[in-house]
Structure 1
Amino acid sequence: MSTTPPVLAAELAAAWADIQRNHPELPDLAAPESLIGESSSACGSGLSFERLLHEAVHGIAAARGVRDTSRAGRYHNRRFLAVAEELGLVHPEEPHASSGFSLVTPSPETRRRYRPTIERLQRALKAYSAATEADGRGSFRGPAARHGSSGGGVRVKAVCDCGRNVRVVPSVLAQAPIMCGACGKPFRIPEAPVERPAAKAKEPEERVEAVAAVG
């Protein structure tokens, strides 16, 4: 297995900490690995520092108790835009009909402020992409991975012993443990309860024999 995912997770955590230095109310990023390989059409596809800033807007909104989205998280409203502008993100156009102000982008000043962080994260992302392509070359990808089922890109709930939970892609969790920031133990996907097979009904011939024995 490639050692790149933990390196990329460390760079994601470092980039998040850089944002926190400018915005101290931003909560900690509990599981940076959960962002690797995950995409969201509502929050921008692909992983980048721009996507990280977008997630930081949601983090600050949550810390303030601000409802910044609607329609199951797809529509980003003006409260989202207000927090985004505090983080140096802009949306010069009118809101999109279905996603609202989701496609915010860093202003030139914001890009200059975070330039070293952006460059470090881009290098880590490039190395991760190269390692992923090398690991997958010549291997067979099953239907779950090809079609994005629960083994590919769909998130499921992972829990830790202290009761906290995160939504994570199973293949990402398989690459490296995701540690809980509260108790220090790894998140795990609960096993589905095993259903006990129903008792097999007796054959009609056996019931007839039992009645004959009693008579």
Structure 2
Amino acid sequence: MTIPHPAPVAHDESETAALVHGAVIISTVETAWQEIRRRHPDVPELAVTTASGNGADPTRCATLRTGREFTRDGVLTMELRFCAGTLRHGGQANLQALLHHAAHGLARRRGVKEVSSGYRWHNKHFARIARELGLTPPRRATPVVGMTDCRLGDAEATRWSEVIAVLDAAAGVRLEAAVQSTATPRSPRSGNRFAVVCAECSPPRRLQITPFSFEQGPLLCGVCLTKFRPAPPAA
């Protein structure tokens, strides 16, 4: 499977950059999760939400941060809250976190009680499912959190190299957008808006943007990561 990599992007306004960060996060995490589900079809669907903050350590259990699940159209869906700053921990650490979350999802789908009522103590059932997904459980339980520290080793990470590269690339998009968002001044042309479209989406997605914003660099579609282009003149 060939997974598309996000292209570098630059933006002039911090609020625009924040929106792009969120779109990149969601698209990237969903892409990685789709590949996890392709290899392990019993893993539930995922709903990604973003949150402000510097980014929690992704190797901490994501279920401790979110822990919500729901049924959407009769399908079990897990929620995962992700911060832009979490990307800076690297693709391998973030994939480890996603596989950890996927292990919780498999346990839910199978009706296995893998954690204590407070979502802290991870038991031997969790460790067994995590091993199915390629993680290596600790040799012994740790106080308070049990078998939570299941690691993605370098050998197993090689099998996920494309996914890890995508997660790493998304961190680069975020950093470049953050730098550009604070570096460019306003322009007198900033108020004259025109339409741009993403022609790859169906129907095409359409936004209004100022010439100044458009000239600073490409604006990525949060759905397909294609560049928005000026809308053709109305017939």
* TM-score, length-scaled by structure 1: 0.55
Listed as ranges, the matches of 1:149-188 within 5 Å are: none
8 Å CA contact 2:60, 2:97 repeated in 1: no
Task: Tell me if 1:51 matches 2:69.
Answer: no
Going from structure 1 to structure 2, the CA distance change for 1:24 and 1:133 (only over 3 Å counts) comes to same
Alpha-carbon distance in structure 2 between the residues aligned to 1:126 and 1:7: 11
Going from structure 1 to structure 2, the CA distance change for 1:66 and 1:34 (only over 3 Å counts) comes to farther
* TM-score, length-scaled by structure 2: 0.51
8 Å CA contact 1:26, 1:60 repeated in 2: yes
**Whose relative contact order is higher, 1 or 2, with alpha carbons under 8 Å and at least 6 apart?**
2
Listed as ranges, the matches of 1:130-141 within 5 Å are: 130-132=176-178
What do residues 129-183 of structure 1 show as CA deviations (whole Å, max 9, x unaligned)? 554576589xxxxxxxxxxxxxxxxxxxxxxxxxxxxxxxxxxxxxxxxxxxxxx
Write the letter of the residue equivalent to 1:95: A
- The alignment's C-alpha RMSD in Å is 2.7
Alpha-carbon distance in structure 2 between the residues aligned to 1:134 and 1:123: 17
Listed as ranges, the matches of 1:97-108 within 5 Å are: 97-108=143-154
Match of 1:23 among 40, 50, 54: 40
SS at match of 1:32: strand
SS at match of 1:93: coil
Higher strand share: 2
Tell me how far 1:71 sits from its aligned partner.
Answer: 4.8
Partner of 2:113: 67
Give structure 2 stretches of 5+ with no counterpart.
Answer: 1-15, 66-85, 88-93, 184-235
Tell me how far 1:52 sits from its aligned partner.
Answer: 0.9
How many residues of Structure 1 are paired with residues of Structure 2 in the alignment?
A: 136
Percent sequence identity over aligned pairs: 29
Tell me how far 1:50 sits from its aligned partner.
Answer: 1.2
Going from structure 1 to structure 2, the CA distance change for 1:39 and 1:116 (only over 3 Å counts) comes to same
8 Å CA contact 1:42, 1:73 repeated in 2: no
Task: Tell me if 1:111 matches 2:129.
Answer: no
